Amino acid sequence: MQQYSELAQSVKISHDKNNTLLDADHSLSLIGKGRSAYVFRIHSTNKAMKVFFPNHTHTAKVEAEIYQTVQSIEYYPTLYDAGENYLVIDHIEGNTLFECLTLGIPITEENIKEIDHALQLARKEGLNPSDIHLRNIFITSEKKVKIIDVARFKQVKSCNQWHDLKSAFHLFYSKSFFPKKIPSFILNSIAAIYKKRFLPI
């Protein structure tokens, strides 16, 4: 198999604001796109490669250091390699909370407690979990929690996102009248309104 660094180099992303994916080795399958990177599954492995957009490459080192800090905590993926613009971590089998909501897969009180615990353990390592939103939390096929995208866990500013998501879970989602399957455009609209409240323009 090719070296991880060679695989990462095969990923070509446009240097404009669209960050268009132009090319990638055939042993990489695209599984996700966030605000800073494309994520691929590496064929015939259970590993995922996160390749950062050209204007976010500096985040690779920051995120790798944070993953190192939480390696002993079972709720975070194992980090296998990191380079100038990429990370290699466990591929997570399961669904993000966002997917659970759009697919109608139930999210339980147990899951919420486990996420709380996972974040608490990161705090014990001196981190400040931030950017905790529906697309960065997985419920695995074994119904365990995994948290990804830890790049902002060292930010000083306090982040209320998880606190607000938990409140929404208890106030709305957990009630029997509340729908358990929610279309993605509704979730995206709620997220956009939420973001605006915190970033007044």
Ligand X SMILES: Nc1ncnc2c1ncn2[C@@H]1O[C@H](COP(=O)(O)OP(=O)(O)O)[C@@H](O)[C@H]1O
Binding of ligand X by 50 (CB under 6 A) = yes
Active-site residue, 23 included: no
Half-sphere exposure of 74 (CA within 13 A, CB side): 5
Binding of ligand X by 62 (CB under 6 A) = no
Binding of ligand X by 95 (CB under 6 A) = no
Binds 103, which of ligand X, Mg ion, none (CB < 5 to 8 A, cut-off by type)?
Answer: none
At CA 103, angle to CA 98 and CA 104, rounded to 5?
A: 100
Comparing CB distances to Mg ion, the nearer of 63 and 149 is 149
Q: How far apart are CA 181 and CA 158, in angstroms?
A: 30
Residues paired with residue 50 on neighbouring β-strands, in sequence order: 39, 87
Q: Do residues 127 and 154 lie in contact, with contact meaning Cβ atoms separated by under 8 Å?
A: yes
Binds 48, which of ligand X, Mg ion, none (CB < 5 to 8 A, cut-off by type)?
Answer: ligand X
Binding of ligand X by 147 (CB under 6 A) = no
Comparing CB distances to ligand X, the nearer of 38 and 169 is 38
**Residue ranges in 142-201 that form contacts with Mg ion under rule CB under 5 A:** 149
Look at the alpha carbons of 177, 139, 134, 126 in this order and tell me if their dihedral is positive or negative.
Answer: positive
Binding site for Mg ion (CB under 5 A): 34, 136, 149
